[in-house]
Structure 1
Amino acid sequence: MQLIDDVADRVAIEVLKLVDETGNLDIVEDVKKVIGTSSQTLEEAYMTAIRVRRAEARAMELIGTLRAQNGGA
Protein backbone atom coordinates (compact mmCIF):
# COMPACT_ATOMS: atom_id res chain seq x y z
CA MET A 1 0.00 0.00 0.00
CA GLN A 2 1.48 3.29 -1.11
CA LEU A 3 0.18 5.28 1.88
CA ILE A 4 2.01 3.09 4.40
CA ASP A 5 5.28 3.35 2.48
CA ASP A 6 4.92 7.12 2.17
CA VAL A 7 4.20 7.57 5.88
CA ALA A 8 6.98 5.19 6.91
CA ASP A 9 9.52 6.96 4.71
CA ARG A 10 8.47 10.41 5.91
CA VAL A 11 8.84 9.32 9.55
CA ALA A 12 12.15 7.57 8.84
CA ILE A 13 13.59 10.70 7.22
CA GLU A 14 12.64 12.83 10.23
CA VAL A 15 13.94 10.27 12.72
CA LEU A 16 17.28 9.96 10.93
CA LYS A 17 17.61 13.76 10.87
CA LEU A 18 16.97 13.84 14.62
CA VAL A 19 19.50 11.05 15.19
CA ASP A 20 22.08 13.06 13.22
CA GLU A 21 21.30 16.19 15.27
CA THR A 22 21.38 14.49 18.68
CA GLY A 23 23.59 11.45 18.20
CA ASN A 24 20.94 9.43 20.02
CA LEU A 25 20.57 6.12 18.15
CA ASP A 26 17.84 4.97 20.55
CA ILE A 27 15.37 7.29 18.84
CA VAL A 28 14.96 4.79 15.99
CA GLU A 29 13.92 2.07 18.43
CA ASP A 30 11.74 4.38 20.53
CA VAL A 31 9.74 5.47 17.48
CA LYS A 32 9.51 1.85 16.31
CA LYS A 33 7.93 0.86 19.62
CA VAL A 34 5.39 3.68 19.47
CA ILE A 35 4.44 2.84 15.90
CA GLY A 36 4.26 -0.87 16.68
CA THR A 37 1.64 -0.38 19.37
CA SER A 38 -0.77 0.89 16.72
CA SER A 39 0.29 -0.76 13.47
CA GLN A 40 2.63 -3.68 12.94
CA THR A 41 2.44 -3.07 9.19
CA LEU A 42 3.62 0.53 9.57
CA GLU A 43 6.32 -0.57 12.01
CA GLU A 44 7.73 -3.00 9.44
CA ALA A 45 7.58 -0.41 6.66
CA TYR A 46 9.28 2.15 8.93
CA MET A 47 12.16 -0.19 9.76
CA THR A 48 12.55 -1.02 6.06
CA ALA A 49 12.68 2.71 5.29
CA ILE A 50 15.30 3.21 8.03
CA ARG A 51 17.47 0.42 6.58
CA VAL A 52 17.09 1.70 3.02
CA ARG A 53 17.88 5.31 3.98
CA ARG A 54 20.96 4.21 5.98
CA ALA A 55 22.16 2.04 3.09
CA GLU A 56 21.63 4.95 0.70
CA ALA A 57 23.69 7.24 2.94
CA ARG A 58 26.55 4.72 3.12
CA ALA A 59 26.47 4.22 -0.66
CA MET A 60 26.50 7.96 -1.34
CA GLU A 61 29.40 8.41 1.09
CA LEU A 62 31.38 5.73 -0.74
CA ILE A 63 30.57 7.28 -4.11
CA GLY A 64 31.79 10.65 -2.83
CA THR A 65 35.01 9.09 -1.56
CA LEU A 66 35.62 7.29 -4.84
CA ARG A 67 34.94 10.48 -6.78
CA ALA A 68 37.40 12.41 -4.63
CA GLN A 69 40.05 9.73 -5.17
CA ASN A 70 39.57 10.06 -8.92
CA GLY A 71 39.95 13.82 -8.95
CA GLY A 72 36.26 14.62 -8.73
CA ALA A 73 35.45 13.27 -12.19
Structure 2
Amino acid sequence: MGITEDIADGLAKDAIEAADRLGDDRVIDEVSRTLSNTSQTTQEAFLTAVRVRLAERRARGVLLSFLKDAPEAPKPD
Protein backbone atom coordinates (compact mmCIF):
# COMPACT_ATOMS: atom_id res chain seq x y z
CA MET A 1 0.00 0.00 0.00
CA GLY A 2 0.96 3.64 -0.35
CA ILE A 3 1.59 6.02 2.51
CA THR A 4 -1.99 7.35 2.49
CA GLU A 5 -3.49 3.88 2.73
CA ASP A 6 -0.97 2.79 5.37
CA ILE A 7 -1.68 5.80 7.56
CA ALA A 8 -5.44 5.57 7.05
CA ASP A 9 -5.47 1.84 7.86
CA GLY A 10 -3.47 2.34 11.06
CA LEU A 11 -5.77 5.16 12.07
CA ALA A 12 -8.82 3.02 11.26
CA LYS A 13 -7.52 0.18 13.42
CA ASP A 14 -6.88 2.57 16.32
CA ALA A 15 -10.25 4.30 15.93
CA ILE A 16 -12.12 0.98 15.91
CA GLU A 17 -10.25 -0.13 19.04
CA ALA A 18 -11.05 3.19 20.75
CA ALA A 19 -14.72 2.96 19.74
CA ASP A 20 -14.88 -0.58 21.12
CA ARG A 21 -13.15 0.39 24.36
CA LEU A 22 -15.37 3.43 24.88
CA GLY A 23 -18.53 1.78 23.56
CA ASP A 24 -19.03 4.79 21.30
CA ASP A 25 -19.05 4.54 17.49
CA ARG A 26 -18.98 8.34 17.26
CA VAL A 27 -15.20 8.10 17.67
CA ILE A 28 -14.96 6.86 14.09
CA ASP A 29 -17.26 9.64 12.85
CA GLU A 30 -15.24 12.33 14.63
CA VAL A 31 -11.94 11.06 13.25
CA SER A 32 -13.51 11.00 9.79
CA ARG A 33 -14.75 14.58 10.15
CA THR A 34 -11.34 15.72 11.31
CA LEU A 35 -9.72 14.11 8.28
CA SER A 36 -12.27 15.69 5.93
CA ASN A 37 -11.13 19.15 7.06
CA THR A 38 -7.58 18.52 5.89
CA SER A 39 -7.47 15.64 3.42
CA GLN A 40 -10.45 14.18 1.63
CA THR A 41 -8.17 11.53 0.12
CA THR A 42 -7.07 10.35 3.56
CA GLN A 43 -10.66 10.46 4.82
CA GLU A 44 -11.82 8.23 1.97
CA ALA A 45 -8.98 5.77 2.60
CA PHE A 46 -9.80 5.82 6.34
CA LEU A 47 -13.49 5.09 5.77
CA THR A 48 -12.63 2.30 3.33
CA ALA A 49 -10.26 0.75 5.88
CA VAL A 50 -12.92 1.02 8.62
CA ARG A 51 -15.52 -0.70 6.40
CA VAL A 52 -13.09 -3.46 5.41
CA ARG A 53 -11.99 -4.12 9.01
CA LEU A 54 -15.58 -4.15 10.34
CA ALA A 55 -16.73 -6.38 7.47
CA GLU A 56 -13.91 -8.81 8.25
CA ARG A 57 -14.93 -8.83 11.93
CA ARG A 58 -18.53 -9.68 11.03
CA ALA A 59 -17.50 -12.33 8.50
CA ARG A 60 -15.15 -13.98 11.00
CA GLY A 61 -18.02 -14.07 13.50
CA VAL A 62 -20.17 -15.93 10.98
CA LEU A 63 -17.33 -18.31 10.17
CA LEU A 64 -16.72 -19.03 13.86
CA SER A 65 -20.41 -19.72 14.44
CA PHE A 66 -20.35 -22.33 11.67
CA LEU A 67 -17.22 -23.93 13.05
CA LYS A 68 -18.56 -23.90 16.61
CA ASP A 69 -21.40 -26.22 15.56
CA ALA A 70 -19.33 -28.38 13.23
CA PRO A 71 -18.29 -31.89 14.24
CA GLU A 72 -14.61 -32.54 14.80
CA ALA A 73 -12.72 -33.59 11.69
CA PRO A 74 -11.52 -37.18 11.79
CA LYS A 75 -7.86 -37.52 12.76
CA PRO A 76 -5.64 -39.30 10.23
CA ASP A 77 -4.24 -42.61 11.44
Q: CA shift at 1:71, angstroms?
A: 3.4
Indicate the residue corresponding to 2:9 in structure 1.
Answer: 9
| Structure of larger gyration radius | 2
Q: Which has the higher contact order (CA 8 A, sep 6+)?
A: 1
> What TM-score comes out, normalization by structure 2 length?
0.89
| Unaligned ranges ≥5, structure 1 | none
> What TM-score comes out, normalization by structure 1 length?
0.93
| Unaligned ranges ≥5, structure 2 | none
Assess, with a 3 A threshold, how the Cα gap between structure 1 residues 36 and 68 changes in structure 2: closer, same or farther.
Answer: same
Per-residue CA shift, 1:12-64, capped at 9, x if unaligned? 00000011101111111100011111100000000000000000000111111
CA distance in 1, matches of 2:2, 2:31: 20
Assess, with a 3 A threshold, how the Cα gap between structure 1 residues 20 and 71 changes in structure 2: closer, same or farther.
Answer: farther
The 3-state SS of whatever aligns with 1:71 is coil
After TM superposition, which residue ranges in structure 1, 4 or more long, deviate above 2 angstroms? none
Indicate the residue corresponding to 2:53 in structure 1.
Answer: 53
CA distance in 1, matches of 2:71, 2:20: 28
Indicate the residue corresponding to 1:20 in structure 2.
Answer: 20
Aligned residues: 73
CA RMSD of aligned residues (A): 1.3
CA distance in 2, matches of 1:24, 1:71: 37
Structure number having the greater helix percentage: 1
